[in-house]
């Protein structure tokens, strides 16, 4: 069920469901990408669109006139796209970029992840590199990608006590998700490796990230 609600006085958010699954994420990102290409955004006074797993937020100037008209037109367009997706009964292709992330798997929690998952460190690395991770959204920190596609065999609870400092580029697992820290920050995910954080600057929702096991990050 689609619902719309304000977030402060300069944002309207449309939500498309309660659960998180790949089909809902793909439908959400499909609609997001459609709006990103629209010339109407300038007409409506919208200066930013931010997707999440199951919602899209439209940001505009708080003093914008004609807010009710904009909301009606947006709501109509969103519901039209959603109806088409439901009628087609297919999971939309997002045509995102495929980006390879070289990863050195030497994270300080790799051994603990392997122990929790009852497998060797080599098996953790193999399964993690087999994944094709879709960027569901970017948030928490600038360029931090929330990735779908982690093998359920690698699911590992977050740390009971978060670290106060995690280095930029750390590759980590938290629950059923995996991600890359774009900058030094606190965090509670399990560190399994490291990559070049500069790679994150090209990542957008809908892209596919592929992890490649390397001995060092300077490999060609």
- Two tokens, residue 119: 């497998």
Strands 98-103 and 208-213: parallel
Its domain, for residue 25, covers 3-88
Compute the half-sphere exposure of residue 61: CA atoms within 13 Å on the CB side of its CA.
9
User: Domain end: 88, 109, 124, which one?
Assistant: 88
Establish if 42 belongs to a structural domain.
yes
Q: Tokens 């938290």: give the residue.
A: 174
Same structural domain, 113 and 200: yes
pLDDT at site 111: 98
User: Domain end: 60, 88, 116, which one?
Assistant: 88
Same structural domain, 15 and 72: yes
Domain count across the chain? 2
Do the Cβ atoms of 134 and 118 come closer than 8 Å? no
Establish if 218 belongs to a structural domain.
no
- Two tokens, residue 174: 């938290």
> Which pTM value belongs to this model?
0.84
Output the domain CATH number for residue 33: 3.30.1360.40
CA–CA separation, 170 vs 178, rounded Å?
11
- pLDDT per residue rounded down to tens, the chain (220 residues): 899 999 988 899 999 988 888 889 999 999 998 888 877 677 778 888 999 999 999 998 876 677 888 889 899 999 999 998 888 877 777 778 999 999 999 999 999 999 999 999 999 999 999 999 999 999 877 899 999 999 999 999 999 999 999 999 999 999 999 999 999 999 999 999 999 999 999 999 999 999 999 999 876 5
Same structural domain, 82 and 102: no
């Amino acid at each position: 069920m689609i619902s719309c609600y304000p977030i402060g006085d300069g944002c309207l958010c449309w939500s498309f469901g309660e659960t998180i699954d790949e089909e809902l994420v793909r439908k959400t990102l499909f609609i997001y990408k459609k709006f990103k290409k629209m010339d109407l955004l300038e007409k409506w006074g919208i200066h930013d669109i931010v997707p999440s797993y199951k919602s899209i937020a439209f940001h505009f100037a708080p003093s914008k006139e004609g807010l009710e008209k904009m909301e009606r037109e947006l709501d109509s367009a969103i519901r039209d796209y959603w109806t088409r997706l439901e009628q087609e009964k297919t999971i939309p292709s997002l045509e995102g970029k495929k980006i390879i992330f070289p990863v050195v798997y030497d994270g300080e929690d790799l051994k603990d992840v392997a122990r929790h998952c009852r497998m060797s460190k080599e098996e953790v690395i193999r399964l993690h590199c087999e994944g094709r991770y879709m960027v569901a959204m970017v948030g928490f920190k600038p360029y931090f990608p929330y990735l779908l596609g982690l093998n359920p065999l690698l699911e590992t609870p977050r740390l009971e006590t978060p670290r106060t400092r995690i280095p930029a580029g750390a590759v980590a697992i938290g629950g059923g998700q995996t991600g890359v820290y774009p900058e030094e920050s606190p965090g509670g995910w399990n560190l399994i490796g490291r990559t070049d954080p500069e790679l994150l600057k090209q990542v957008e929702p809908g892209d596919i990230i592929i992890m490649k096991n390397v001995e060092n990050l300077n490999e060609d």
